[in-house]
Amino acid sequence: MKPTTIDHPFRTISLDYLSDASLSELEQAAIEKYIALHDKSQQLKETILRLHNYYTSALEVQQQCRADLDKLQNEYVLVSPMLHYFEEGSYLPPTEVEEVDENERVCYDTQPLMVQLEIFKYSYHDYIEPLKVAEKEHTDMVQLQEKVEEDFDEFDEKYFSPIMKNYQQMEINIAALDEDFDNFRGGYGDVMKLNDDLTDARNAFIEKHAPLHDQILELDKNLTNLFTVLNKIDEGSEGYSSN
């Protein structure tokens, strides 16, 4: 097969030949490797564009998650003062709580906290699951980029350079091949510029994600402590009820 023009999704490949003679095994293998290299370059480009779109558009979801986390934090702040009393075992049975002046009571109502916790769970799920997928795809993309660059070096060393060096025995027009390979490398350079844009977008996203992640971990620790205390309260209430 002696393709002259190949309409590849990555770019149009343009080759030329000196005559109608058959290609050597080296030339035939070179064309197959050349097309395969275009395939991987296109795959890399599509992945970069997809990830760039995610890391820019997901900022809105990240913002919503942060807003719901702040609301949950506020609800925790309202009920957290009671921890001081309950952790010391200084809690009152329900009948005696009613006798305490309302202005002196610590907030016992955890219902708003529980409602906001459920809201945050859904918000966090919508945020973190696509992020996990994107981060996995980003890791795969970095590996693909490394493989593509290795393949470029391999093509140059094992196919392009030998063909150029032994041009007198080759059927392919080396001037056309040289020009097309140069254009190909230029097109791949444009992909690397897209990758730079992706790096900037991802870094901006991660920069905002890191403090959000830390805040979630801290609040999770506080809520775990709170619920442990609440369970003790329930056990204490049951004890008073049985008495």
Q: Classify residue 167: in a domain, yes or no.
A: yes
What is the pLDDT, as a whole number, of residue 45?
98
In a domain, 212, yes or no: yes
The candidate with the shortest Cα–Cα distance to 162, out of 177, 147, 149, is 177
Answer yes or no: is 211 within a domain: yes
Tally of structural domains, the chain:
1
pTM, two decimal places:
0.83
SS (H, E, C) the chain: CCCCEEECCCCEEECCECCCCCCCHHHHHHHHHHHHHHHHHHHHHHHHHHHHHHHHHHHHHHHHHHHHHHHHHHHHHHHCCHHHHHHCCCCCCHHHHCCCCHHHCCCCCCHHHHHHHHHHHHHHHHHHHHHHHHHHHHHHHHHHHHHHHHHHHHHHHHHHHHHHHCHHHCCECHHHHHHHHHHHHHHHHHHHHHHHHHHHHHHHHHHHHHHHHHHHHHHHHHHHHHHHHHHHHHHHHHHHHHC
**Is residue 117 in a domain?**
yes
What integer pLDDT is reported at residue 241 of this predicted model? Answer: 47
Q: Would you say residue 83 lies in a domain? A: yes
pLDDT attached to residue 96: 57
Residue 3 domain-assigned? Answer: no
* Domain hosting residue 128, numbered range: 33-242
Q: Is residue 25 part of a domain?
A: no
Residue 1: per-residue pLDDT: 58
Query: What is the mean pLDDT for each group of 10 consecutive residues in the chain (243 residues)?
Result: 86 93 94 97 98 97 97 90 63 56 58 94 97 98 97 97 94 95 97 98 97 96 87 58 46
Helix (H, G, I), strand (E, B) or coil at 196: helix
pLDDT of residue 234: 60
